[in-house]
Structure 1
Amino acid sequence: MRVSYNWLKEYVDITISPQELADRLTLAGLAVDAVEEVGAEIENVVTGRITKIEKHPNADKLVVCTVDVGQPETLQIVTGATNVREGHIIPVALEGAKLAGGLQIKRSKLRGVESQGMLCSGQELGIEAKLLSPDMAHGILILPEDVPIGQDAKEILGLNDFILDLDLTPNRGDALSMIGVARDVAAILKQDLKIPEPEFTEGEEKVQDLAQVDIVDQDLCRRYVARVIKGVKVGVSPMWLQNRLRAAGVRPISNIVDVTNYVMLELGQPLHAFDYDRLKNHHIIVRRAKDNEKIVSLDGVERTLNPDMLVITDEAGPVGVAGVMGGLDSEVTDQTTSVLLESAYFHPTNIRRTSKALGLRSESSMRFEKGIDINGCLRAANRAIQLMQQLAGGTVAAGVIDNFPAPITEKTILLRPQRVNWVLGTDIAREEIIDILCRLQFKVQSQNDDLMVTVPTFRPDISREIDLIEEVARLHGFNQIPETLPFGPSTQGHRTPEQQLVWDVREIMTACGFFEVVTYSFVHPRIFDMMNLPPDSRFRNVVKLQNPLSEEQSVMRTVLVPSLLEVLQRNINRRNKEGAIFEIARVFYPQQGQQLPAEVPVLAAVAIGQTPKTWNQPARPMDFFFIKGVAEQLLDTLGVAGATFSRHQDPSFHPGRCAQIKVNGEVLGVVGELHPNVIENYELPERAVALKIDLQVLAQADRPVKQYQGLPKFPAVERDLAVLVKQEVSAADMLDVIKKAGGNLLRHVDIFDVYQGTQVPQGFKSVAFSMKFQAPDRTLTDEEINQKMERITKNLTAQTGAELRK
């Protein structure tokens, strides 16, 4: 919310500087982000009238203007502007003037003709192009005909002002208006609030004879006020009105439209002006839209409506989207002579949903979303009618159409002064509490030791006693509340088991050399094709967004690896050709009969290239064995018991280099090298490996408590065993046989060599195992070790077809 300091002073006698006011407002809960001094750089710019325009003798695109600036002698100014005419009143930078951006004007010659100043555009005076009409956005600023010449342009254009940029909390919708801010300023400074009273004259025609309003859906429109003014003349607004709109960041359009915007900024009540003669039978109907009903909004865009949206219609069809934007067919134009003015209350949640669904957010919808004063509709309509009659002439129809099916009364809340001081830790007197609330225009009555506080409807955020206590605190001054130590019972914070697991996983992955990334939960549907997933894959059943930011982010992801591959792809495009990254996030699956999807936490990791070379370790490729080792390290560090790896077929992974991880018979995840098609789809230069783990399954896995074990007292015996087996026999199966045959005496077994070559028959491989035997209570004999080795060899032969290699 942009608040003009000069405009604010019309409602409150402000005796402090803009910066001090900003500090006081911030301490009172209306945070001021910045104070902008408008026109601080502008000097020596006055208003002038162009009395004569002649062609430049030496340049086709330049003209020579004779300008009257209220001095005895006229000025000769050369310009290339094409939008100026004789008689125009414009801002003129005199010799020595300073403009926005530090530009200083000097007397000069342009193509041999002396120029004694410069005609100024709005941007050269610090006015943004978007706040100017299209013909002046890139040309000279043309001022209204009634502007006196020779005056300081800063004063005429409202550039001698300060703008307070407020960062409001969502509950303070009342502060989205000058009166709302002025109310707090008056309370802070203990000054009177001056609210203008609407005064205008009415004609003999009655408004009930001229128009009709029917509210069909009263749950979405709780009040609709309409007034009619006939015989208006649409034209340019006076400078004071244009200046105030620009100060608030609103572009002036015409006197009628500008009045509706001005009153919205002043009172916080959005208004809309319809061309009365373009409304069929002058009949306003407020109803839900029909399915696929169309309307062309004021921005010229055809919009498709649905029954969840509220529309304003006449007997022919929609003329406006309630609370968001009016329709093009009924807009006020230069030919408009009669106006029907709308001032209504629409349901905040419905307006927000409509605004988001249409991708259309306006100053009006923003105020309706936060909640307006339902009892302020009539006042705003009368204020607008007063200004329309004042600026555009016309006759106001007698009376008002006020369709208010269920009037709302002010709520009364019990406030206990002792409770105020107990909550705040203060000693504020009862009289001061009453004074603060009265300064905020609350009504206060005593009830024994307590107070009965009636809250006006312009403060819908006040509904409980604690809200009133907050009001007392902010007006008393948060900085005046004494510092006290907390008291009462306290508990030590700790992570839940699920949070601790995520924390541990993050630490382990980082220790393994992976970098954590965070990606969007929204993805493009094409990722399923890029990941080689078949048409019937369960991962293609996604949650679709109703109003996506773009097609690139139109569905909720069911797989996490594609997001990481996109990160790798961006890094590779920037010549970072190696990397290992991971993400812990949620994937989303639709639930039958449920409105919300199932959110499953998962870990995904991808790697490409080689591990970094260190002083004691050479670089090695991040291949299948690397990523499998990471998975084993993760499970081992977490203490997960019973995890197994088995050969697996996954369409996203290489058919011969993929393993499924199981824990207690339940699938935990997948690890392996990505399919060549996936590598090609993501334009990766070489092989990449990936890891997927379901953290829900991991959280439920057995994780025995680690216990202390003393150092062994008796020596271990190591034996090696090399066997020949068929290539299709997996190492995991062989290890399982060895562990079972070795029993309790077998403390450790590793594969230290796998060989296929000329010394091994075709279709076979040589696998060598290193085993360590040890007993806790004695030194093992050769006979015991030989028995174990014989049993291991026998079982390998029987169960895997292995032959002892000689």
Structure 2
Amino acid sequence: MKVSREWLNEWIPNEVPVGTLAEKITRGGIEVDEIIDYASEVKNLVVGYVKTVSQHPEADRLRICQVDTGDETHQIICGAPNVEAGAYVVVCKVGGRLPGGIKIKRAKLRGEVSEGMICSLEELGIKEDHVPTEYQNGIFIFQEARKPGEDALSALLLDDQVMEFDLTPNRKDALSMAGAAYEARALFGGEVKVPTHEVTEGSETTSLEVRNADVDAVPYYGARVVENVKIAPAPTWMQMRLIKAGIRPINNVVDISNYVLLEFGQPLHMFDRDQIGSDEIVTRYAHDAEKMTTLDGKERTLQSEDIVITNGKEPIALAGVMGGEFSEVTDQTTNVVIESAVFNPVSIRKTSGRLNLRSEASARFEKGVSHEFVVQALDRAALLLEQYAGGTVASSIISDGTLSVEDTEISITEAFINAHLGMTLTTEEIQDTLFKLGLEVEVSDETLLVSIPSRRDDLKIKQDITEEVARIYGYDALPSSMPAASTTSGKLTDEQKKTRIVRHQLESLGLSQTINYALTSRVQAEQFNELEGTVELLMPMSEDHAVLRKSMIPHLIDNVVYNKNRQQKDIQFYEIGRIFKSNGHGALPEEREMLAGILTGEMNRTDWLGTKVPADFFAAKGVVESVLEKLGLTGNVRYERSARFDALHPGRSADVLLNNERIGFIGELHPKFAQQNDLDRTAVFEVDLNRLLSVKQGNIIYDQLSKYPSITRDIALVVDDTMAADTLVRTVEAAAKKYLVDVFVFDVYEGDNMEAGKKSIGLRLTYLNKEDTLTDEEIEKQHTPVLEALESNGAQIR
């Protein structure tokens, strides 16, 4: 909504600078995006009277004009095709300046002196789309006589600043000059002066009748017939106000309907009375597949939710959106029907959206119009047609339906407002603030009964009144205070500290963090997990975002594919986020905080040394173990071979167990799955971060470094190829009762010289007595039970 300062002053006089006005309006809740100052770059612009026009002797397209500028007559060369003697025009004199820094100097054009410039509206800073058709390829000509030499900016109403309101959807009341005036009154005081709209009605009765076939579609429809209008350009002042509001003038009849729309926010429509085709206007919902041709010449196929204005037989307008072609006002129109109505806003919104017909009228109808201005706008338009189109109002208003103009009421108390604002306003201060908004308040004891006019039907509950008091009284006046409740010093929780440790460790290993949507496709939701059920969205935006994820690995794979397609080969990502386990229909899902990662290409590559680490299962396992070590959980975690997921390599994947409870997995992608995603060897991991963070760690107890040497014993074992090395390690740890400090798998061999179905595993055992030097006898006492335990579990000592 563009609000002219000059026009606003006609509604409510205000002398504060426009910058102050805009700032206070913004602080009051309506953001002023821009202030357009038409006079800021203009100098020495006057009204000129063209006395004579003659052909330039050396140029077919140039005219020599003698122009009276008040103090003297100047010769000005003009190339506009519409320049003519007797016209009042806009002249920029020598020494003047136009928007864009254009300076006007005395010049010679093809041998003839030119002292100034006759201007078009575009040259004054008006957008071409807003210039009337008759002036688009030429200069501007005043519709009425002016005084030569007077200030042209004032004559054009361009000695003005225009504020562009960026309105929120709930502030439909400010989509008019009336709304802007009431807002200015609330912020600066004064009284709103509503333009004259009383009209003298004709004594004759009209044959036109109005009927609403569906009250839900059209609660109220009113019309007036104005006869003997003369189609002509609207007066200059009206054209310029429309131009400043961003509307291109057409003719006096159409311009009056747009002008009244901007005044009251009530859209009107003008029909050619003689082209309607009957003596009745019937409003109804359209029939399915019904067709009509709109003003833009396009045939529209209608639906049953569209509202149409008909002549009793066929549509003559698409209600609230666009008029029909055969009933539009043309240069031959003499009798006009003015429509002012209330339409179902939901229907208007759906129709304009489906047909992509957005207009000033539909923008207001779809938000709901103010009932108190429906009849006023109708009368105002009839009055202006009398004054500026020479028309005669034929009869009284023809209408059908009920127009509710009674105020609604909201009961509120001083205590309620102060409790929500944290202020100590008195009843008088609250009453005065609401009065500035044009709201009547009746006080009874501690209760305030606020009357809400229909122009502010966005105010529905007590909280709305509280908000109005706050913004008009001033958000800056709201007191600031510290919370009264006792507080503790801010610090990170144990979980937050550990999460930061995890992030720091992963990033120090070269992994980059990713953040993905929690929504995924139904196919990806079933990958890399065994959770039953899926949480589905009722109205998903797309199939790719239809359900909540149950694993973070599919999104990480997508991230790697995206980067690999952009020539990134060595990629290491991690993500900390949530997955969702369904608890059945109607129940909230269980949310689990997870840690996931993906590795592909090469890691820790150093070209100068020629070293690198492949992103395989062991690299992923090393990343997980480094995180566990940082959290102090290495001794609580073990790994078991796994083949639970088809998308993972069956021989290169393992479950992660914390205190014998499975909390995640590590593995390489199955070669076929990797090939389907155009990936090379790729490893992934996913663990339950909540479980890792939930393990409470006690105080760390440090041992003094032993001054006695340790002793190692290597054991080579032949076992079945199905036996896991971890089983042997746990057997050793259980059998060694004393001095054993480490068991390390240093070799695994399968191949030549090894029996089929067997493999060789080498274990290195480290013994240490922290209080004395170990002897061979002491070692043998501990080592012999270990060998016996291994043999009893099927291992053969080599």
Q: TM-score range by the shorter chain?
A: 0.7 to 0.9
After superposition, give the CA deviation of every residue in 1:117-147 in whole Å (9 maximum; x if it has no partner): 445454432223343357866x445445436
- In the TM superposition, residue 244 of structure 1 has moved relative to its aligned partner by 1.9
Report if aligned partners of 2:725, 2:761 keep a CA contact under 8 Å in 1: no
Structure 1 residues 363 and 641: CA distance shift in structure 2, 3 A: farther
Opposite residue 77 of structure 1, the aligned amino acid is: I
CA distance in 2, matches of 1:627, 1:302: 64
Match of 2:473 among 473, 476, 484: 476
- SS of 1:9's partner is helix
Structure 1 residues 450 and 45: CA distance shift in structure 2, 3 A: same
Match of 1:705 among 691, 696, 718: 696
After superposition, give the CA deviation of every residue in 1:273-312 in whole Å (9 maximum; x if it has no partner): 4455555646555555555666666566666665555555
Opposite residue 180 of structure 1, the aligned amino acid is: G
- In the TM superposition, residue 48 of structure 1 has moved relative to its aligned partner by 5.3
**Residue in 2 aligned with 1:192?**
191
- SS of 1:96's partner is strand
- SS of 1:441's partner is coil
- SS of 1:364's partner is helix
- In the TM superposition, residue 86 of structure 1 has moved relative to its aligned partner by 4.7
- SS of 2:104's partner is coil
Opposite residue 697 of structure 2, the aligned amino acid is: K
CA distance in 2, matches of 1:508, 1:190: 63
Count of aligned positions: 771
**After the TM superposition, which of the residue ranges 4-13 and 156-165 deviates more from structure 2?**
156-165
Report if aligned partners of 1:38, 1:159 keep a CA contact under 8 Å in 2: yes
**Residue in 1 aligned with 2:376?**
379
CA distance in 2, matches of 1:589, 1:64: 81
Structure 1 residues 671 and 132: CA distance shift in structure 2, 3 A: farther
1:442 aligns with 2:439: yes
- 1:570-649 mapped onto 2 (5 Å cutoff): 580-581=572-573, 610-611=602-603, 620=613, 622=615, 625-627=618-620, 629-630=622-623, 646-647=642-643
CA distance in 1, matches of 2:164, 2:84: 39
- In the TM superposition, residue 379 of structure 1 has moved relative to its aligned partner by 1.9
CA distance in 2, matches of 1:86, 1:132: 19
Long gaps (5+) in structure 2: none
**Residue in 1 aligned with 2:253?**
256
CA distance in 2, matches of 1:522, 1:330: 52
- SS of 1:14's partner is coil
Structure 1 residues 788 and 476: CA distance shift in structure 2, 3 A: same
After superposition, give the CA deviation of every residue in 1:347-394 in whole Å (9 maximum; x if it has no partner): 555555555555554433443454432333222222233334433343
Structure 1 residues 406 and 140: CA distance shift in structure 2, 3 A: closer
Structure 1 residues 710 and 464: CA distance shift in structure 2, 3 A: same
- SS of 1:160's partner is coil
- In the TM superposition, residue 40 of structure 1 has moved relative to its aligned partner by 0.8
CA distance in 2, matches of 1:367, 1:706: 64
**Residue in 2 aligned with 1:800?**
none
CA distance in 1, matches of 2:415, 2:677: 70
- In the TM superposition, residue 254 of structure 1 has moved relative to its aligned partner by 3.7
1:146 aligns with 2:144: yes
Opposite residue 223 of structure 2, the aligned amino acid is: A
1:459 aligns with 2:456: yes
**Residue in 2 aligned with 1:556?**
545
- SS of 1:444's partner is strand
1:175 aligns with 2:174: yes
Opposite residue 68 of structure 2, the aligned amino acid is: G
- In the TM superposition, residue 398 of structure 1 has moved relative to its aligned partner by 1.9
After superposition, give the CA deviation of every residue in 1:243-273 in whole Å (9 maximum; x if it has no partner): 2223223333443333333223222223334
Structure 1 residues 484 and 744: CA distance shift in structure 2, 3 A: farther
Report if aligned partners of 1:543, 1:597 keep a CA contact under 8 Å in 2: no
Report if aligned partners of 2:233, 2:250 keep a CA contact under 8 Å in 1: yes
Opposite residue 181 of structure 1, the aligned amino acid is: A
Opposite residue 44 of structure 1, the aligned amino acid is: N
- In the TM superposition, residue 580 of structure 1 has moved relative to its aligned partner by 4.5
- In the TM superposition, residue 180 of structure 1 has moved relative to its aligned partner by 1.2
Structure 1 residues 776 and 315: CA distance shift in structure 2, 3 A: farther
Opposite residue 233 of structure 2, the aligned amino acid is: V
After superposition, give the CA deviation of every residue in 1:324-369 in whole Å (9 maximum; x if it has no partner): 5555565544455444433333455555555555555443344345
Structure 1 residues 623 and 700: CA distance shift in structure 2, 3 A: closer
- 1:97-496 mapped onto 2 (5 Å cutoff): 97-108=96-107, 116-118=115-117, 120-132=119-131, 139-146=137-144, 148=146, 151-204=150-203, 206=205, 209-216=207-214, 218=216, 221-276=218-273, 279=276, 281=278, 284-288=281-285, 307=304, 310=307, 312=309, 315=312, 322-326=319-323, 331-348=328-345, 351-352=348-349, 356=353, 361-405=358-402, 407=404, 409-417=406-414, 419-421=416-418, 424=421, 426=423, 428-487=425-484
After superposition, give the CA deviation of every residue in 1:749-788 in whole Å (9 maximum; x if it has no partner): 6665667888989999876666668999999844444443
Report if aligned partners of 1:544, 1:555 keep a CA contact under 8 Å in 2: no
- The percent identity for this pair of structures is 33
Report if aligned partners of 1:750, 1:769 keep a CA contact under 8 Å in 2: yes
Structure 1 residues 194 and 703: CA distance shift in structure 2, 3 A: same
- In the TM superposition, residue 213 of structure 1 has moved relative to its aligned partner by 3.0
Structure 1 residues 128 and 442: CA distance shift in structure 2, 3 A: same
- SS of 1:398's partner is coil
Opposite residue 642 of structure 2, the aligned amino acid is: S
- In the TM superposition, residue 395 of structure 1 has moved relative to its aligned partner by 3.7
CA distance in 2, matches of 1:706, 1:792: 33
CA distance in 2, matches of 1:102, 1:287: 55
Report if aligned partners of 1:234, 1:255 keep a CA contact under 8 Å in 2: yes
CA distance in 1, matches of 2:310, 2:579: 43
Q: What's the C-alpha RMSD, in Å, of the aligned pairs?
A: 5.5
1:7 aligns with 2:3: no
After superposition, give the CA deviation of every residue in 1:709-758 in whole Å (9 maximum; x if it has no partner): 645799987665666889xx789x54356446744868876665667888
Opposite residue 410 of structure 1, the aligned amino acid is: D
Structure 1 residues 500 and 224: CA distance shift in structure 2, 3 A: farther
Q: What TM-score does the superposition give when structure 2 sets the normalisation length?
A: 0.76
Report if aligned partners of 1:738, 1:792 keep a CA contact under 8 Å in 2: no
CA distance in 2, matches of 1:734, 1:18: 82
Report if aligned partners of 1:522, 1:554 keep a CA contact under 8 Å in 2: no
CA distance in 1, matches of 2:54, 2:555: 64
Structure 1 residues 198 and 101: CA distance shift in structure 2, 3 A: same
Opposite residue 400 of structure 1, the aligned amino acid is: I
Report if aligned partners of 2:226, 2:335 keep a CA contact under 8 Å in 1: yes
CA distance in 1, matches of 2:639, 2:299: 59
Report if aligned partners of 2:599, 2:615 keep a CA contact under 8 Å in 1: yes
CA distance in 2, matches of 1:623, 1:428: 69
- 1:59-70 mapped onto 2 (5 Å cutoff): 63-70=61-68
1:20 aligns with 2:27: no
Structure 1 residues 768 and 272: CA distance shift in structure 2, 3 A: farther
CA distance in 2, matches of 1:266, 1:73: 40
Structure 1 residues 422 and 565: CA distance shift in structure 2, 3 A: closer
CA distance in 1, matches of 2:411, 2:139: 57
CA distance in 1, matches of 2:75, 2:116: 8
Report if aligned partners of 2:657, 2:663 keep a CA contact under 8 Å in 1: yes
Long gaps (5+) in structure 1: 798-802
Structure 1 residues 124 and 267: CA distance shift in structure 2, 3 A: same
CA distance in 2, matches of 1:122, 1:228: 35
After superposition, give the CA deviation of every residue in 1:595-650 in whole Å (9 maximum; x if it has no partner): 99999998776666555768999664555654565566667878797776734665
Structure 1 residues 793 and 321: CA distance shift in structure 2, 3 A: farther
After superposition, give the CA deviation of every residue in 1:423-475 in whole Å (9 maximum; x if it has no partner): 55555454444333333222233324543322222212323444334434443
- SS of 1:159's partner is coil
Structure 1 residues 643 and 573: CA distance shift in structure 2, 3 A: closer
Report if aligned partners of 1:222, 1:404 keep a CA contact under 8 Å in 2: yes
Opposite residue 187 of structure 1, the aligned amino acid is: A
CA distance in 1, matches of 2:765, 2:135: 88
CA distance in 1, matches of 2:331, 2:566: 56
Q: What TM-score does the superposition give when structure 1 sets the normalisation length?
A: 0.75
- SS of 1:10's partner is helix
